[in-house]
């Protein structure tokens, strides 16, 4: 009969760095691969390792002779593998190895002089193998010790290669920046993003970045294609906030320089765009995971750069400890525990309680707060009553409702174009939701990104909406806050500005700035990046 013995036990890794044995799934595989290659090399030399006594048949030599049959140094190696939680299954003895057993027994009997040479050769070979094995074990132990003592970089070589191909400018060991498609669009006078329509940012002066490429969710609609690492707590090396901001601005400006003299780019907007005025902390990952996020925000404000921070509502303590930002977003991708698990695919076991606690923490903020709802057709568009309850929990100033963007086929997601709602369907959903939350009304529309803005009525003065932001006033207020050591606070109403008519819901422009020219794409290729 054909048969085989297991050469090595199965290797297991975990994408969650907190549960990973070596800090990342790539490192888990590398460690397993090193042991596997070592085992194959031993096989090529014809080495045979006796069974550890736990074989299924129970007839091997180790069961008959006990610990005497164990290979020298095996106890030390066994202890190492136990610490590594990945026990190896050595070979069980077979009929092919009976000659070796006879040789072992012959050592205890009378030895003929003519056989002495063979025995000495075998003893020398065993000694060399023992020394080699001890050296390999020592090397692996040293590697594991170094991995445990020194935190590894979040950006692995494989991650660096993947993100670089996608156009990311990587910074240090865990940060990145990328030019948003709406920045390119506004440089050409082809319209700005929804933040321009809703809040008055200058899209060509906005830098999209993140101080943490890692995230605690694996959302099905993530247009980052799940190339970023995931984790529930910070387990990596940490770069200083000053370095991250400095290199983010430099990298952003270097990419912007490539548009100098490009046909269609407006010269005045190019010159303005070289000075960053807004920062969207929504590029990839979970920015609030970065331990020095408050320091990073303070540096942004010192550079007179407004801050738009997006969080996935899984870190309530960090939200409570967050210093004032220009506008704080929370992604509300579903309204029930079941649909949130299905859509966001969170790593935390207590994800639902963390989600609710994050919304409660948002309610305590005095500055501008936003719920960001991404509608996925057939997944989360029929939960209106549940959404209304969540609104009462966090009392956000604004609610952005946007149809999901299809990112193409991916093994990491089961979404198809059938899950993308039409703009009319998004409008219908928003109208039905507003009927359930009497303190809110539809304020603005950005049709060309399939997005609408619901605003609290406190931003409607008389019959006019004031959803835009007075950025100069915000910088004055945040400076006073810092100078007073945090005692002089301010609220969202202290830095609001009047919304222009073309941005309002129901206007003929449908949220497109009349200063720009609408451009209809001719080819089918589409840049899906953007906040």
Instruction: Out of 37-46, 66-75, 148-157, 299-308, give the one with best mean pLDDT.
Output: 299-308
Distance of CA 231 to the CA centre of its chain: 8
CA distance 138 to 498: 69
- The answer to whether residue 63 scores a pLDDT higher than 50 is no
Model pLDDT, residue 5: 74
Q: Which of 44, 46, 54, 50 is nearest to 92 (CA)?
A: 50
HSE of 87, CA atoms in CB hemisphere, 13 A: 10
**Fold that domain 167-503 belongs to in CATH:** TIM Barrel (3.20.20)
Query: Is residue 77 pLDDT above 50, yes or no?
Result: no
What was the pLDDT predicted at 348?
Answer: 93
pTM, rounded to two decimals: 0.75
pLDDT per residue as tens digits for the range 381-409: 888 999 999 999 999 999 999 998 876 66
Structural domain boundaries in the chain: 167-503
Mean pLDDT of the chain: 83
The pLDDT of 440-447, averaged and rounded, is 98
User: pLDDT-derived band of residue 149, with 50, 70 and 90 as boundaries?
Assistant: low
Q: Name which residue leads in pLDDT, 344 or 144.
A: 344
Residue 136 has pLDDT above 70, yes or no: no
Residue ranges of alpha helices (H) inside 150-292 are: 157-165, 181-187, 194-199, 241-257, 267-273
> What number of other Cβ atoms are within 10 A of residue 244's Cβ?
26
Contacts of 403 (CB under 8 A, 6+ apart): 374, 375, 377, 420, 421, 422, 423, 425, 426, 450, 451
**Residues 187, 265: contact at Cβ < 8 Å?**
yes
User: Is the pLDDT confidence value at 99 over 70?
Assistant: no
Q: What is the pLDDT of residue 6?
A: 76
Of residues 520 and 403, which shows the higher confidence score?
403
Choice among 27-36, 300-309, 349-358 with the minimum mean pLDDT? 27-36
């Amino acid at each position: 009969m054909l048969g085989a013995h297991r050469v090595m036990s199965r290797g297991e890794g975990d994408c969650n760095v907190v549960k990973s044995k070596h800090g990342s799934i790539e490192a888990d595989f590398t460690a397993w691969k090193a042991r596997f290659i070592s085992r194959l090399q031993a096989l090529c030399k014809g080495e045979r390792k006796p069974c550890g006594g736990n074989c299924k048949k129970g007839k091997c030599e180790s069961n008959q002779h006990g610990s005497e049959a164990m290979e020298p140094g095996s106890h030390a190696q066994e202890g190492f593998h136990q610490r590594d939680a990945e026990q190896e299954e050595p070979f069980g003895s077979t009929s092919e190895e009976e000659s070796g057993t006879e040789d072992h027994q012959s050592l205890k009997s009378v030895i003929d002089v003519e056989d002495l040479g063979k025995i000495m050769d075998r003893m020398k070979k065993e000694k060399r193998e023992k020394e080699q094995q001890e050296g390999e074990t020592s090397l692996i132990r040293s590697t594991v010790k170094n991995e445990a003592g020194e935190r590894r970089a979040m950006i692995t070589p494989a991650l660096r290669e993947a993100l670089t191909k996608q156009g990311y400018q990587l910074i240090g060991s865990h940060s990145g920046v990328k030019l948003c498609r709406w920045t390119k669009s506004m440089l050409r006078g082809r319209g700005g993003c929804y933040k321009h329509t809703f809040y008055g940012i200058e899209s060509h002066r906005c830098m999209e970045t993140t101080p943490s490429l890692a995230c605690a969710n694996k959302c099905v609609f993530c247009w980052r294609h799940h190339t970023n690492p995931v984790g529930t707590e910070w387990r990596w090396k940490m770069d200083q906030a000053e370095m991250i901001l400095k290199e983010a601005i430099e990298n952003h400006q270097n990419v912007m320089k490539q548009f100098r003299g490009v046909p269609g780019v407006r010269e005045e907007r190019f010159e303005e765009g070289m000075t960053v005025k807004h920062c969207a902390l929504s590029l990839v990952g979970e920015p609030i995971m970065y331990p020095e996020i408050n320091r990073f925000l303070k540096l942004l404000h010192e550079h007179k750069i407004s801050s738009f921070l997006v969080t996935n509502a899984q870190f309530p303590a960090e939200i409570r400890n967050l210093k004032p930002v220009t506008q704080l977003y929370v992604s509300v991708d579903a309204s029930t525990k079941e649909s949130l698990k299905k859509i966001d695919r969170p790593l935390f076991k207590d994800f639902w309680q963390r989600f609710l606690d994050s919304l409660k923490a948002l309610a305590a903020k005095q500055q501008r707060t936003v719920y960001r709802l991404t509608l996925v057709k057939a997944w989360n568009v029929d939960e209106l009553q549940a959404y209304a309850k969540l609104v009462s929990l966090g009392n956000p100033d604004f609610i952005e409702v946007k149809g999901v963007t299809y990112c193409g086929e991916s093994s990491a997601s089961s979404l198809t174009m059938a899950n993308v709602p039409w703009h009319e369907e998004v409008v219908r959903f928003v109208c039905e939701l507003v009927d359930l939350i009497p303190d809110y009304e539809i304020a603005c529309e950005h049709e060309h990104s399939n997005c609408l803005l619901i605003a609290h009525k406190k931003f409607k003065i008389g019959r006019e909406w004031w959803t835009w932001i007075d950025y100069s006033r915000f910088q004055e207020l945040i400076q006073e806050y810092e100078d007073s050591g945090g005692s002089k606070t301010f609220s969202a109403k202290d830095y609001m500005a009047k919304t222009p008519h073309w941005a309002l819901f129901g206007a003929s422009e449908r949220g497109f700035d009349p200063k720009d020219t609408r451009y209809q794409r001719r080819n089918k290729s589409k840049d899906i990046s953007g906040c």
